[in-house]
A and B are shown apart, each in its own frame.
Chain A
């Protein structure tokens, strides 16, 4: 049962990840990426990481992908304005990715780590995770908040209209 669910979720994730790359319209890419993220959240549930699954759906599918959709809408991108590489470059990209896949498979195959015993644990519960997060990782947690604040300020600064006030342009010239 579990293994069938794993195969189904993996198939959905890989198939929609391929469609992210190959679909012509950026809006469809975003929608397929959301499907991929839901499949990955399903994998988290299978791995007994329920809280991470919820956070993943909220942060990625809920926040980040909506941000992508809004930016695509603001920039008014569609299939006609979509630039494409030449067929030779596309072929080279696929070859390079295939070579990377071969390297990854070859390096992971036969490693002794994979034969470790398999048990069911409950580290993914909110209680255990919160205990670790607020004792061992308290300082990185606080620093992450500073990082988010800095990112917010940076995004606002970058997104601001570039037209400076009239008196400033005269002094700068």
Chain B
């Protein structure tokens, strides 16, 4: 059986890669994919803890995170399509109206 800190390190690395992708890329779709990556890192650590502490609540929580992620992707991609229709690009530097 694998010690739980291995899973903690793995999901910390995956989460960090997701954060780096959000900061690194300008394409809104790739930024969105990196957010999915971060959600999955958190899901992984939740499943690990639920297994190690013999508590099913963590896995049920992962279900709800998946449902919310599906809803988020549907709405987010619709927003991206509207953005592309208005600006003809998915570059997030175009969307700087809220910049101070």
Show the binding face of A for B, using Cβ within 8 Å.
2-3, 6, 10, 13-14, 17-18, 20-21, 26, 29-30, 33, 36-37, 40, 43-44, 46-49, 52, 55-56, 59-60, 63-64, 67-68, 71-72, 74-75, 77, 81-85, 90, 92-94, 96-98, 100-101, 104-105, 108, 113-114, 116, 118-121, 123-124, 128-129, 132-133, 136-137, 140, 144, 147-148, 150-152, 154-156, 158-159, 162
The answer to whether A21 and B20 touch (CB under 8 A), given A52-B47, A133-B60, A144-B67, is yes
Smallest CB–CB gap between B83 and chain A, Å? Answer: 10
A14 partner, pick from B13, B55, B71, B72, beta carbons under 8 A: B13
Instruction: Return the chain B residue nearest A125 by Cβ.
Output: B56
Chain B hits for A123, CB < 8 A = 50-51, 54-56, 59
B70 and A140 form a contact (CB under 8 A):
no
Contact yes or no, A114 B5, CB < 8 A: yes
**Size of B's binding interface in residues, CB under 8 A:** 72
Pick from B43, B52, B70, B80: contact of A63, CB below 8 A.
B70
Structural contact, A158 and B75, CB atoms closer than 8 A: yes
Residues of A within 8 A of B90 (CB): 75, 77
Q: When the two chains form their complex, are residues A64 and B37 in contact, meaning their CB atoms are under 8 A apart?
A: no
> For residue A3, which residues in chain B have a CB less than 8 angstroms away from its CB?
2
**Pairs of residues from A and B, 10 with the lowest C-beta to C-beta distance, nearest first:** A151-B71, A97-B20, A93-B23, A158-B78, A21-B21, A83-B91, A155-B78, A132-B56, A104-B12, A155-B74
Given A40-B40, A55-B63, A158-B79, residue A68 in contact with residue B51 (CB < 8 A): no
Given A26-B27, A144-B67, are A114 and B3 neighbors across the interface (CB < 8 Å)? yes
Give 28 A-B contacts (CB < 8 Å), ordered by A residue.
A3-B2, A10-B10, A13-B14, A17-B37, A18-B17, A20-B30, A26-B29, A30-B33, A40-B40, A43-B7, A49-B50, A75-B90, A83-B27, A97-B16, A97-B17, A97-B23, A116-B53, A119-B52, A121-B54, A123-B56, A133-B60, A137-B57, A137-B64, A147-B71, A148-B67, A152-B74, A155-B74, A158-B81
Residues of B within 8 A of A114 (CB): 3-5, 8
- Residues from chain B with a CB closer than 8 A to the CB of A132 are 56-57, 60
* Interface pair B47/A47, CB less than 8 Å apart: yes
Measured CB to CB, the closest approach of chain A to B21, in angstroms, equals 4
- Contacts A6-B2, A6-B6 known; list 9 others, CB within 8 Å: A10-B6, A21-B25, A44-B44, A75-B84, A96-B23, A114-B4, A147-B68, A148-B70, A155-B77
